[in-house]
Amino acid sequence: MRAGDREAFAELYESCAQAVYRHALRLTGDWSVAEDIMADTFLAAWQGRGRLEQGRGSALPWLLGIATHKCENARRRLRRRLVFLTRQPPPVHVADFSAEAASRLDDQDRLRAVSAAFGQLRRQEREVLSLRVWCGLDYEQTADALGIPVGTVRSRLSRARRRLARIADQAERAKRPRRNLEPARAHGEVRNTAAIAALPMREETP
């Protein structure tokens, strides 16, 4: 690929595109933005292929690092756009098509719960959590993707786990009725979908 072999780059795209897209979707929460970021990531990878280090075990951390920076740029553009829109007259009401888009998922409730909890984390925590837990990178690869020390990855991941578990517990308590008319739960049972999503982060040891 470094030599400009398009077939090699196509193989890289086929093997890594979905991972890059899912990472961008987790960080942005927007289908269309995630698709744009995936495309921009591979365009930047092709243009900067000469910077890809030889001897890498995998190019995925490099791609995810590019995608992470592009997600942050997208967040900044969105913030500037929102500031601009607050100064404009109220827009004409447009029908909400988010439910139709979300129908592509098998479990909409779980996605909403996880997205709500994930969105309450700090940006740096979301990045580390997505790369380390959901993208499956190890600590060194995550540090490489973000350009930070391994120790910083560990500390951010630890904070993200604690915060996500706390958010999930708060959400579960908020859903409890004032009078519990249901049978008592078995020991260790977890019903809240965000709490279920937090379990891998709770149980994994660095």
- Residue pLDDT, tens place only, 140-190: 988 988 889 999 999 988 888 888 888 877 777 776 665 554 555 544 444
More confident residue, 77 or 111: 77
22: confidence class by pLDDT, cuts 50, 70, 90: very high
Helical pair 150-175 and 193-203, crossing angle rounded to 10 deg:
150
Query: How far is it, in rounded angstroms, from Cα 71 to Cα 131?
Result: 13
Query: How far is it, in rounded angstroms, from Cα 69 to Cα 130?
Result: 14
Q: What percentage of the chain carries pLDDT values higher than 90?
A: 22
Dihedral angle computed from the Cα positions of residues 187, 184, 161 and 31, in that order, rounded to the nearest 10 degrees: 130
pLDDT of residue 203: 43
Task: Decide: 132 and 61 in contact? Cβ < 8 Å.
Answer: no
Residues 6+ apart with CB under 8 A from 102: 108, 111, 112
Mean pLDDT of the region 24-52: 89
pTM of the model: 0.56
